[in-house]
Amino acid sequence: MPVPAKIEDVVEETSNIKTFFVRPETPIPFKAGEFIELTVPGLGEAPFTPSSSPAVTERLEMTIMRVGLVTERLHSMSPGDEVAIRGPLGQPYPLEKFYGKEVLIVGGGVGLAPLRALLFALFEEVDKYARIIVRYGARTPSDIIYRKAVTEAWGRGNTLDVV
């Protein structure tokens, strides 16, 4: 059964991509690689990969591009509006198989959103990996999501290499 949730905040990443900060009534633990079904009451549900840290279960972030009926309605919603979450579903990344190895993550545009939870999971145990390499691009500079993190916060030190 879907867990009722409330939108707490909405951040406009680009002209057609927003990050939604959603607080479910009960925490929803998930692992990097799993996804949830986000329900818009009266309209339907759609699958999204949380773009937040798996270490934070009381609030989920989902970065969503406006491309269809559910996402169009989501993009018109505001803090305080109610949604519901079902899941997690799917299979998590086998992070233990990456221990001691270089990990290459490549994403473009909104494609970085489903990889962000993986990045947070890797950052939690950064010393277990030989190196984390992130290559990210977008159609134009205005299409870059998580701009401050990508340009300022990530890529510090020898273990994490972000371009």
Provide the 8-state DSSP code for 96: G
User: Could you list the pLDDT tens digit for every one of the 163 residues in the chain?
Assistant: 899 999 999 999 999 999 999 999 999 999 999 999 999 999 999 999 999 999 999 999 999 999 999 999 999 999 999 999 999 999 999 999 999 999 999 988 888 889 999 999 998 898 999 989 888 888 988 888 887 665 555 555 566 677 6
Strand partners, 24: 5
Give the closest residue to 72 by CA, choosing from 16, 14, 12, 19: 16
- Strand pairing of 17-24 and 131-137? unpaired
| pLDDT digits 0-9 by tens, 120-147 | 999 889 899 998 988 888 898 888 888 7
Do 79 and 9 lie in one domain? The reply is yes
Provide the domain limits for residue 153. Answer: 95-162
Do 7 and 79 lie in one domain? The reply is yes
- Which amino acid would we find at residue 31? K
Give kind and range of the element (H or E) at residue 70: helix 69-75
Do 129 and 60 lie in one domain? The reply is no
Do 110 and 47 lie in one domain? The reply is no
CATH code for the domain of 126: 3.40.50.80
Count the domains in the chain: 2
- Which of 71, 89, 107 finishes a domain? 89
Q: Are 7 and 81 in contact (CB under 8 A)?
A: yes
